[in-house]
Amino acid sequence: MAAQDLRDALVVLALPFAAFLLLGVVRPLRRRGRLAGIVSIVAVAAALVVAVRLELFGAGSDAVGLWPWLPGDGGPMASVGAVVDVLSRKMLVLVTLVSLLVQIYSLGYLHEESAPGLGRYFAYHALFAFSMLGLVLSPSFLQMFIFWELVGLCSYLLIGYYYDRPSAARAAVKAFWITRLGDLGFVAGIVMLWAATGTFDFAPLFAMAKEGTIPFEGFGLVMFLIYLGAVGKSAQFPLHVWLPDAMEGPTPVSALIHAATMVTAGVFMVTRAYPLFVAAPDVLWLIGTVGAFTALLAATMACVENDIKRVLAYSTVSQLSFMMAAIGSGVPRAGFLHLLTHGLFKALLFLGAGAVIHAVGTNDIFRMGRLFRALPGTGTVFLVGTLALAGIPPLPGFFSKEAILTGVWESGRTGVFAVLALTAFLTAFYMFRVMFVAFFGRAHAPYEHAHDAPPSMAVPLWVLAGLTVLAGLRLAMGGGEEHAPPWLLALSLALAVAGFVLAWAAYQAGVVSASALASTFPLSLVDSLARRRYFLDALYAGLYRGVMLGFSRLIGWIDRYLVDGLLNFLSACTLRGGDLLRGIQSGRAQDYLYGVAFGLLALVVWAQLWLRRP
């Protein structure tokens, strides 16, 4: 049966790859636009069916298949393959499900795009689905890195989908460079791990961790470097700056790649390699601390942002950090649960935001208002997403966040717990801020033309909303962590409600003035820093323009005018020397006669002075 599971997993992987090959190679098909979309959608839908079957009716046992990839003298140096276990089965379903819904939604969302552009879009989507599935099926660090980079490539291509917009082009390369910075650590880390253990594969590495061969000397550094990969991909401080800019891509892309799937790759990697991270407690401590810090930092930025997509982007950073903090505190199961539930409701929120933008043509929430009346359907599903993210029971966000808080509390990391609790409050606040400002409150413009999304967009929204509610009910019936203390349940609920009340008071009822609140002392400092994004973007821009480009210009100058200059100096000297010596060859007989005479004289003098000496 395990062999059957493995085969199913490979089928799931192969379907989107086949779609990509078809779209990539067959140019006429790609240039048909919607037809290309249908090819990709059919492939992903079939993959979803197989993935669901695998999850529900599979053998349930773990299966690993490995094939040699890099040959070596004493057996292959590296292998590729697939691993089917609890983690990868659940991820297969999540990835194919969200991919499918987002692709269907895209058909409606991008209906005005040119056919070749749309074909390109769906070719990238198929490549992304393949890469992400390959990543979750990876049985080794090396394969994970391979697909890790490929999903990064898809992200780059899709952020830059509107490639003639300078802002999109900039955001695409920024995302690539910053995540690449983390990936350097990742690849260096796995190479070091390989040099020490002789393998990239998880199974033997975990066995070594069990036996005690791991940790070896310098293991902490290795795991730290590997963690750096997750810092880049899952947008942890200080490499989180690319994710908000990545919102330059089409909104469905943000939903799929920059919320539900790719950005969770870092969390997934750390979860997958958790047995190794446990052997490096210092790194685990760091993961928890950085996670909590980033969660709070991103939440403050979400509170002051006016662009609806960027609010959601900061919220994604914050929620990813929740997961990281959970893993760092020793509860990877809770982190993984949050990864799954967050994938559902964050995709829902992004697609909802896309429907709003589609209807009103702006991203700025303060130019929206009272949208609930014009877009009741979109408003309802967005409300479901908001409640889930804010942590209102019985929606799944409540339970997964609850599981994280419980786990962190029990691990004894009180500081992390306090920061996460504060973040939970802020989360409720900024989400209801968006809700009140955009969907209720005063209307800023008459929205006669605004209407709910067409079916191709509405159906994925309702499906996601329905699944979110179902997942919540399933967790409420006892799927979640069983041993949460009652006071903690009460606290979580209180935090969410407090956030709701504050947002209501400030943006709906007008009881509290938001601007007055933001200008009281400790908050004013945070407010102005958060609005300037803590100067991190400026810092990176300065490092890039000032240090890196400046240094490269210096090296370029040295190479051209010193290293090569010396060579030219030598050749110029040769040329000049040649010119000088050429003067001797004047062609006049008298000069040559003088030469002969002087030469003879010198010879005689030499013979007289030296040869006489005995």
Partner 1 sequence: MTDFLVRIHALSVITWSPFVGALLIMFTARRHPLAVRLIATVSVSVSTVLSILAYAAYNRDAAGFQFYEKAPLVEQLGIGYELGVDGISLLMVLLTSIIIFAGVFASWTVATRSQEFYALLLALVTGVYGVFVSLDLFVFFLFYELAVLPMYLLIGIWGSSGDVRPRGIFAWAYRETGVGSKEYAAMKLTLYLLFGSAFILVGIFALYVSAGATSFSFLDLEAASFDPRLQRWVFLAFYVGFGILAGIWPLHTWSPDGHASAPTAVSMLHAGVLMKLGAYGVVRMGMGLLPDAAASLVWLVGGIACINVVYGALSAMAQVDLKYVIAYSSVSHMGLVMLGAATLTEAGLNGSVFQMFAHGVMTGLFFALVGLVYEKAHSRAIFSMGGFGRAMPGIATAFTIGGLSSLGLPATSGFVAELLTFMGAWASAHPWWLVPAVAGTFLTAVYVLRVAKQIFWGPPSPHFSHLEDAKGPEWVAIVVLVAVIVVFGLLPSLALAPVDTATVPLLARILGP
Among residues 74 and 478, whose Cβ is nearest to partner 1? Answer: 74
6, 65 Cβ separation under 8 angstroms? yes
- Tell me, rounded to whole angstroms, the distance of Cα 579 from its chain centroid: 64
Question: Distance (Å, rounded) from C-alpha 178 to C-alpha 231?
Answer: 10
Instruction: For the CB of residue 30, give the shortest distance to partner 1 in the complex, in Å.
Output: 11
Q: Pick from 57, 163, 366, 598: which binds partner 1 (CB under 8 A)?
A: 163
Tell me the number of residues near partner 1 by CB under 8 A.
59
Instruction: For the CB of residue 181, give the shortest distance to partner 1 in the complex, in Å.
Output: 7
Helix 265-272, helix 115-136: angle, nearest 10? 20
Among positions 172-201, residues that touch partner 1 (CB under 8 A) are 172-173, 176-177, 180-181, 184, 187-188, 191-192, 194-195
Among positions 35-94, residues that touch partner 1 (CB under 8 A) are 68-73, 77
Among positions 543-582, residues that touch partner 1 (CB under 8 A) are 548-549, 551-553, 555-557, 559-569, 571-573, 575-576
Helix locations, 371-513, DSSP H: 371-374, 376-390, 396-411, 414-434, 455-474, 486-503
Among residues 202 and 436, whose Cβ is nearest to partner 1? Answer: 202
Can you spell out the DSSP letters for 346-364? Answer: HHHHHHHHHHHHHHHS--B
Helix 2-25, helix 115-136: angle, nearest 10? 160
Among residues 202 and 417, whose Cβ is nearest to partner 1? Answer: 202
356, 308 Cβ separation under 8 angstroms? yes
Question: Distance (Å, rounded) from C-alpha 11 to C-alpha 14?
Answer: 5
Contact between 478 and partner 1 per CB under 8 A: no
Among residues 68 and 376, whose Cβ is nearest to partner 1? Answer: 68
Among residues 451 and 576, whose Cβ is nearest to partner 1? Answer: 576
Instruction: For the CB of residue 347, give the shortest distance to partner 1 in the complex, in Å.
Output: 26
Kindly write out the interface string for residues 94-123 of this chain, putting x where it contacts partner 1 by CB under 8 A and - elsewhere. ----------------------x-------
The number of helices, as runs of H, and strands, as runs of E, in the chain is 28, 2
Residue 241 dihedral angles phi and psi, to the nearest 5°: -65, -20
Helix locations, 475-588, DSSP H: 486-503, 514-518, 521-531, 536-542, 550-558, 564-582
430, 531 Cβ separation under 8 angstroms? no
Kindly write out the interface string for residues 125-154 of this chain, putting x where it contacts partner 1 by CB under 8 A and - elsewhere. -----------------x--xxx-xx--x-
Contact between 166 and partner 1 per CB under 8 A: yes
**Stretch touching partner 1 by CB under 8 A, among 167-175, 324-332, 409-417, 472-480:** 167-175
Burial class (CB in 10 A: 0-12, 13-18, 19+), 323: buried
Among residues 573 and 596, whose Cβ is nearest to partner 1? Answer: 573
Footprint of partner 1 (CB under 8 A): 68-73, 77, 116, 142, 145-147, 149-150, 153, 160, 163-166, 169-170, 172-173, 176-177, 180-181, 184, 187-188, 191-192, 194-195, 548-549, 551-553, 555-557, 559-569, 571-573, 575-576
